Structure 1
Amino acid sequence: YAWLRELGLEEENPGVYNGRWGGSGEVVTTYCPANNEPIARVRQASLEDYEETVKKAKEAWKVWADIPAPKRGEIVRQIGDALRQKIKVLGSLVSLEMGKIFVEGVGEVQEYVDVCDYAVGLSRMIGGPILPSERPGHALIEQWNPVGLVGIITAFNFPVAVYGWNSAIAMICGNACLWKGAPTTSLISVAVTKIIAKVLEDNKVPGAICSLACGGAEIGTAMARDERMDLLSFTGSTKVGKQVALMVQERFVFEDADLNLVIPSALFAAVGTAGQRCTTARRLFLHENIHDEVVAKLAKAYAQVRIGDPWDSDTLYGPLHTKEAVKMYLDAVEQAKQQGGSVVCGGKVINRPGNYVEPTIVTGLPHNAPIVHTETFAPILYVLKFKVEEEVFTWNNEVKQGLSSSIFTKDLGRIFRWLGPKGSDCGIVNVNIPTSGAEIGGAFGGEKHTGGGRESGSDSWKLYMRRSTCTINYSKDLPLAQGIKFQ
């Protein structure tokens, strides 16, 4: 893969960056999921490397926090431009190392670019209001300051975008960042950090503002326990010390739904990224009057999905990320059968090199079957039949997780009931669109086991800052609040 040199990658690469490149931990080989062939090697961080990197990141923060927010935004803009210049080769690396199709790999880098653009504007708008004081000669100000050091632990399925959501916003807020990507996508972490490091160097600011510590459970656990981490963003890597709750997604189709929207939406949400998105649709609830028709049309659409090498522009569906993911897929299919499900299509490993499995539709399971409530990060869609709105809304909310959900209907009243207090309890609630493919301008995150904050748009920037309420007395008197007299 000689083209990897365009990203500054070699056969063996240092996996630690804190202003300089290094690493004294284990050397890990990364593999291509499409053929299980080795790509290159990355030397991971040791605990000593991690300790040094945290110290340098904390020192770098002292410099970064003093730089005016609009200037920080200008540097983030330059990072976006640098990513834009490498977008195709970075997208190719995402396909090669993660396994998603090329157009999705490019789209993921584009998402980071978009967040950089968004952050530039935000850098001139963050801040609190001046509030009316009840005391004469006083000003009441809401002041926002950076939290300090933001730890970012990302998963294999979005090895670029999730880091981008966090780092671009955290940086304009005045924070330093320390990134640990998934061990199986270490090359992507190194390549992205090299691009960022060049921009920081060109602007004569400390490189440790965007530090990197590649590693597995040992480094992740250290970050989770480190009180010097002022904020930790943690996205579902099972290599880390404790399991992060995975995300459940739901989709409901009523009998008045436009099936021309339903079929392509369900197909993309269930099959896109080979079912490995955090917003992948796993449960498809169909009204009993249209159940059989939709299943037949969906099975026909599944049969036409173009399976192949992820870097082939005609491919819509690539491999699973690891051999372990293939085993989880097979186990889930077997459990579905044992619990009363019928496999309409798929259910098998594809006979070709790499981690390829068939996209699968399962029908006949009850809404509360254990496998229906279990996330597998695999392209398995459980199609469930319902009769009335009330029961299906309840089924939506009966699980412990809640990231993304969508309803397909033309009934305006039903739409607003779905969006209301007795409707979906997910963090992302859609109408007549897929569960996948959120825009960067809205806050991204879930509820219940998939709660714990928001990333990307809206007012998510507030998570990366601490709020102070400041009262300034510019008069010569000392009136007390609430009219209290103390004399």
Structure 2
Amino acid sequence: MKQTIDAAPLVKEVSDVLHQLGIKEVNPAYSTGLAWGGHEGRTTRTINSPADGNTIASVNMATAEDYDHVIKTAQEAFKVWRKVPAPKRGEIVRQIGEKLRQHKEDLGKLVSYEMGKILQEGLGEVQEMIDICDFAVGLSRQLHGYTMHSERPQHRMYEQYHPLGVVGVISAFNFPVAVWSWNAMLAAVCGDVVVWKPSEKTPLTAVACQHILREVLAENELPEGIFNLVIGDAEIGSLMSHDTRVPLVSATGSTRMGKKVGEAVGARLGKSLLELGGNNAIIVTEHADLEMALRAIVFGAVGTCGQRCTSTRRIIVNENVYDQLKERLQKVYANLPIGHPLDSTTLVGPLIDKPAVDAFTAALEKVQQEGGKLLIGGEILNGEGYETGTYVKPAIVEAENHYEMVQEETFAPILYLIKYSGDVENAIELQNGVKQGLSSSIFSTNLLETEAFLSHWGSDCGIANVNIGTSGAEIGGAFGGEKDTGGGRESGSDAWRIYMRRQTNTINYSREMPLAQGIKFDIMD
């Protein structure tokens, strides 16, 4: 579908958004919350929108010396921040949430324009930030430990949690602000300070967030170094991964990247929180509500142009409803509105860049060589409105689960349609038969099927849903996956614990000195 958006008002709209969010023509390389640094004498990276190819702004890239300065500033801030009572830290996060509410429209538009996801998803990402702030405020009064009974008389045992220190956050381009906030807001109420390395593909939204944070920090007369930003390439991420001053590194991205981070952090016995690749499947049984399944499949497969870690990659369909669902999917795909992400009628925006388009076409070529049948889509769009070469038609491919390309995650809108026969355990085996283990879903009105899917022999993913899709998690539950997805958990539930160090305490309030396990050890005077 051709775009109808008028470019002239859009240029002014984007210009107004950049002004409101403090984005300059050239932006500095780092921030320590209150102060900006790295203004001159550094490599500059120009950020162009994948939506229309226009230059948004440029950023200076941080040096190793810049990184070191930020870490040292963060270390000093930690000495102050950890002594602030947790509910007071929660109050700061509450104020950040209020600022985000004020800037939601502008920040959502910048997310959409810089990354390429449609405006509704951009606004939804900022809402996630607001939601995690609200969650963290409540959490600030619930950082609880446990009390245990001691085997020794007049002894008390309990556990408590203390702040870790500097938390490093490496975020990905597809969620340029939300995933950072999951980490930063929880870490902040836990008493940690945060150093953020955003994706070099989408750094401007990070710059905007730092301007918003600065207002809160200044209004509360807090020191610099609590919320920090370092804009750089893989070198900065490597420095952070190897840095013993950073006890926890949270990294979101590809499995390949995550293995490098995990290896570096593990070698120094640090903690890593890894949110990596997904190869998510929806099982559609013969007892499914197909209209419900259809809506979930399409959003999961083409939302963010297939560039979510929870994007739906595989549909495992019972043979009795396979042809019916295949026909319905092709009809919907034939009419998907593809265009500028800020156009309210658009449902599918561009891929992030041309290398992503190349990966899309290469994957389609290879899966067809393996025996896959392209049912619809796969074209690169060109002509008016599509001059960037980053717009593609989402594809559906009939395939088999064992194909090499089906086993891999292609960060693009390719949906593999896979038929199964027999009972639901056959479908579950297909779903689990990949290296990744992030999100999964089943559509069925049959209780026996859905309970089998949720059982300990069912889905092996960190997220398992019934009658909703794989994409679009709420912040209240812990987010993350198993196997090559990394095993980390972020956001809700008890995910806060990874940002703290655990301590067991035993207090003797008697005048005796009994030993555990009844050990006798009497010394002579």
Query: With structure 1 as the length reference, what TM-score do the two structures score?
Result: 0.97
Structure 2 unaligned spans of 5+: 1-13, 262-273
Counterpart-to-counterpart distance in 1, 2:283 and 2:257: 33
- Work out whether residues 135 and 481 of structure 1, in 8 Å CA contact, stay in contact via their aligned partners in 2: yes
Asked if 1:307 corresponds to 2:338, the answer is yes
Relative distance call for 1:240 and 1:138 in structure 2 (3 A) is closer
Spell out, residue by residue over 1:422-442, the C-alpha distance to the aligned partner (whole angstroms, 9 max, x if none). 111000001110100101000
CA shift at 1:137, angstroms?
Answer: 1.8
Relative distance call for 1:37 and 1:241 in structure 2 (3 A) is farther
Counterpart-to-counterpart distance in 1, 2:235 and 2:214: 25
- Work out whether residues 217 and 241 of structure 1, in 8 Å CA contact, stay in contact via their aligned partners in 2: no
The residue aligned with 1:387 is 421
CA shift at 1:203, angstroms?
Answer: 1.1
- Work out whether residues 252 and 258 of structure 2, in 8 Å CA contact, stay in contact via their aligned partners in 1: no
The residue aligned with 1:370 is 404
The residue aligned with 1:162 is 179
Q: Secondary structure at the match of 2:47?
A: strand
Amino acid at match of 1:22: G
Q: Secondary structure at the match of 1:282?
A: strand
Alignment of 1:334-345 (within 5 A): 334-345=365-376
Q: Secondary structure at the match of 1:429?
A: strand
Asked if 1:273 corresponds to 2:307, the answer is no
Counterpart-to-counterpart distance in 1, 2:409 and 2:75: 37
Counterpart-to-counterpart distance in 2, 1:98 and 1:145: 36
Alignment of 1:465-484 (within 5 A): 465-484=500-519
- Work out whether residues 150 and 233 of structure 1, in 8 Å CA contact, stay in contact via their aligned partners in 2: yes
- Work out whether residues 337 and 343 of structure 1, in 8 Å CA contact, stay in contact via their aligned partners in 2: yes
Amino acid at match of 1:375: E
CA shift at 1:242, angstroms?
Answer: 4.2
Alignment of 1:9-28 (within 5 A): 9-18=23-32, 19-23=34-38, 25-28=42-45
- Work out whether residues 169 and 180 of structure 2, in 8 Å CA contact, stay in contact via their aligned partners in 1: yes
Counterpart-to-counterpart distance in 1, 2:519 and 2:234: 56
Relative distance call for 1:87 and 1:333 in structure 2 (3 A) is same
Counterpart-to-counterpart distance in 2, 1:197 and 1:247: 35
The residue aligned with 1:96 is 113
CA shift at 1:461, angstroms?
Answer: 0.4
Counterpart-to-counterpart distance in 2, 1:405 and 1:71: 38
- Runs of 4+ in structure 1 displaced over 3 angstroms? 237-245
Amino acid at match of 2:129: Y
Asked if 1:193 corresponds to 2:207, the answer is no
Amino acid at match of 2:183: N
Counterpart-to-counterpart distance in 1, 2:193 and 2:219: 17
Amino acid at match of 1:400: K
Counterpart-to-counterpart distance in 1, 2:79 and 2:479: 29
- Work out whether residues 217 and 240 of structure 1, in 8 Å CA contact, stay in contact via their aligned partners in 2: no
CA shift at 1:136, angstroms?
Answer: 2.2
- Work out whether residues 73 and 224 of structure 2, in 8 Å CA contact, stay in contact via their aligned partners in 1: no
CA shift at 1:392, angstroms?
Answer: 1.9
CA shift at 1:452, angstroms?
Answer: 3.1
CA shift at 1:201, angstroms?
Answer: 1.7
Amino acid at match of 2:363: A
Counterpart-to-counterpart distance in 2, 1:272 and 1:477: 66
Q: Secondary structure at the match of 1:124?
A: coil
The residue aligned with 1:181 is 198
Alignment of 1:238-277 (within 5 A): 242=260, 245-277=276-308
Q: Secondary structure at the match of 1:28?
A: strand
Identity of aligned residues (%): 51
CA shift at 1:239, angstroms?
Answer: 8.1
CA shift at 1:214, angstroms?
Answer: 0.5
Counterpart-to-counterpart distance in 2, 1:452 and 1:214: 27
Q: Secondary structure at the match of 2:176?
A: coil
Counterpart-to-counterpart distance in 1, 2:151 and 2:327: 67
CA shift at 1:485, angstroms?
Answer: 2.8
Counterpart-to-counterpart distance in 2, 1:277 and 1:366: 22
Asked if 1:442 corresponds to 2:477, the answer is yes
Relative distance call for 1:79 and 1:337 in structure 2 (3 A) is same
- Work out whether residues 34 and 353 of structure 1, in 8 Å CA contact, stay in contact via their aligned partners in 2: no
Alignment of 1:18-57 (within 5 A): 18=32, 19-23=34-38, 25-57=42-74
Counterpart-to-counterpart distance in 2, 1:441 and 1:8: 31
Counterpart-to-counterpart distance in 2, 1:129 and 1:21: 42
Amino acid at match of 2:369: Q
Match of 1:400 among 435, 441, 447: 435
Amino acid at match of 1:350: L
The residue aligned with 1:62 is 79
Alignment: residue pair count: 486
Relative distance call for 1:40 and 1:241 in structure 2 (3 A) is farther
Match of 1:318 among 338, 349, 357: 349
Alignment of 1:327-338 (within 5 A): 327-338=358-369
CA shift at 1:246, angstroms?
Answer: 2.1
CA shift at 1:241, angstroms?
Answer: 9.8
Asked if 1:2 corresponds to 2:22, the answer is no
Amino acid at match of 2:456: P
- Work out whether residues 218 and 241 of structure 1, in 8 Å CA contact, stay in contact via their aligned partners in 2: no
Match of 2:167 among 119, 132, 150: 150
